[in-house]
Amino acid sequence: MFDKFFKLSRDLFCVANDEGYFIEVNPAFTKVLGYSKEELLSKPFAEFVHPDDFQKTLNETQNLIEGQGTLEFENRYIHKDGTYRILSWSCSAPQKGEYMYAVARDVTAIRAAESKLNKIKESLGRHAIIAVTDGKGIITDVNEKFVEISGYSKEELIGKTHRVVNSGAHTKEFFKNMWEKISSGESWSGVIQNRHKMGHFYFVYSILSPVHNTQGSIEGYISIRIDMTDYINLKFAYEKTYNVLNETSAIAKVGGWEMDVSNGELTWTDETFRILEVEKNNSSRPMLPEGLELFVEECKPIIEKAVSDCAERGIPYSLELEAKSAKGRVFWVYTNGKANYKDGKIVTISGTIQDIDSRKKAELALEKERMKSLHSLKLASLGEMSAGIAHEINNPLTVIAGTINLLDRYKDKPEKFKEKLCAMTKSCERIEKIVNSLKKFSRSSDNTEKKVCNLFQIINDSLSLMEIKAKTFEIDFKVDVNEQVSIFCDELEIEQVVVNLLSNAIDSVAEVEKREIQIISTEDQEFAVVRIIDSGLGIPEDEVNRIFEPFYTTKAIGLGTGLGLSISKGIIEDHDGELSYSKEGGKTCFQIKLPIHK
């Protein structure tokens, strides 16, 4: 019976003598390390150990010989292919003259998963502003990002409450609702305006969560914040600039031009000369080559082709390009052109040119901040899910730890032993799945490109990320998505939209008795349509027209930034799609419409 158990185990079983040689090893040894049984028995087992672990292995062996058992000991063994395996050992101390008996488990994958998770935590620590308080809200610890953004030293912050950075911008009711939320054991999130030590203001997206002790009581709080100052200030500045431009559009000056197709001679209005900073010469007119030279090098091929296609084939154009004035100033212009016919032939092309440098640079800067904000929202989502992630990883780790302690009990029961080993394997796979999902979701979108993606896979990945949050409220997901539909998109951006809509849906149904969310996809001619339907209370009719406005939220004070739907709508529209809201059978429905790739 013991022989069957010895051979069946996926763990590494061995018998060794006090001279440091294996006397017997089970098949799992050869499978994990790649050596034959003969090779393993032929030389001291210390020669298979990583050089850096050699001494501690010898020390542990000596302890065993002296009668001290080992419940947990890890070292690295050299695989035959030159790589290393991390083994976790349990060993019994031999009686005098007896052999040593030991069992080891290959924990290489678990340690790798833990390492990946630690890297994610380190990344969060580098980018997020973190503070820890006791149960009364007294600050007990802060990270360097908090010191940097607040202007206070660590010593000045510890021992005080967050009133030290209170800007006075929020009402007492705002903070009262926040404290009621977190003191009841729930997390709170929202945008807060704080005051720097030097007096200026800054904005942070904050997630506050209670920390429980082993008895389940709240012993303190942790806050994770993301700096939103640049985005919000730029948003305000852009809106102000946009309003000013709207008010002055009636008197905006636009240059005009015309080109004779037969010889390339250009006719410019005075405003065109002014925009391009060219000295007007009444004795001669500029020619096409001179006009083309007033664009930066990378834009010349674009404008040359547009003018050529318009002059030869009558194709109109409308472009935003970077120009270089006669005085060397580089700036953005809007220019368009159309063909003019006489007797069925193109004789001239004419158009306009306008200096749009301020608007274009504001748009580019806003887009850059939008990408930073999108990444910040991802980090915020990770922070919001952190408690659930820890719980989801701790569960399988508890299974593994508990099962290891029971292995000796089942050594004479192979089937039961095998069942326990399978449970541990599934737990390891669960940890790996969670870590891989987080790793993919936390990637920055800065350098990604649009490509052909499977819509079902994007939705499936989004559901995996929201699975932990959904479990908290025992939500029933019903998914009916065509697995064959492809779209041309930035995968991470579309996934962020779906995650945001699912998160909103979960929040919506959390307070109702029937907690149901449907994800349904259909095809509408050349478009893929995804509907996310929830059984929540919905949105009041008088607020529906405002839900996609920046900083507008239907959630309670402090529970949302008002940025999620605004950013999501912008992402979908950047993909030539539509994001809309409707009521479907009394239920809330958000619909994503994107072009199908064929």
Task: Map tokens 């896979």 to a residue.
Answer: 457
pLDDT surpasses 80 at 81? yes
Comparing C-alpha atoms, which of 130, 376, 152 is closest to residue 163? 152
pLDDT surpasses 60 at 477? yes
Q: What is the mean pLDDT of residues 287-307?
A: 92
pLDDT digits (tens, 9 = 90+) for 236-287: 887 777 565 445 443 566 788 899 999 999 988 888 888 898 988 866 788 8
Q: What is the DSSP string of 63-106?
A: HHHTT--EEEEEEEEE-TTS-EEEEEEEEEPPPTTPPEEEEEEE
Looking at every residue in the chain, the average pLDDT score rounds to: 82
Phi/psi at 324 (5° precision): -130, 110
Q: Given this model, what pLDDT does residue 453 score?
A: 92
Contacts of 261 (CB under 8 A, 6+ apart): 311, 346, 347, 348, 349
Phi/psi at 586 (5° precision): 80, 0
3-state helix, strand, coil in the chain (%, to 5): 45, 30, 25
Strand, helix or coil for residue 168: coil
pLDDT surpasses 80 at 471? no
* Confidence tier at 555 by pLDDT (50, 70, 90): low
Strand partners, 522: 529
pLDDT surpasses 80 at 174? yes
| Distance between CA atoms of residues 360 and 357, nearest Å | 5
Pick the most confident of 26-40, 88-102, 250-264, 487-501: 26-40
Comparing C-alpha atoms, which of 97, 375, 332, 350 is closest to residue 230? 375
pLDDT surpasses 60 at 150? yes
pLDDT digits (tens, 9 = 90+) for 8-19: 788 899 888 878
Query: What domains lie within the chain, and their CATH numbers?
Result: 2-106 (3.30.450.20), 114-233 (3.30.450.20), 249-355 (3.30.450.20), 448-598 (3.30.565.10)
pLDDT digits (tens, 9 = 90+) for 52-66: 988 888 888 788 777
Between 80 and 476, whose confidence is greater? 80
With 0.75 as the threshold, say if the pTM is over it: no
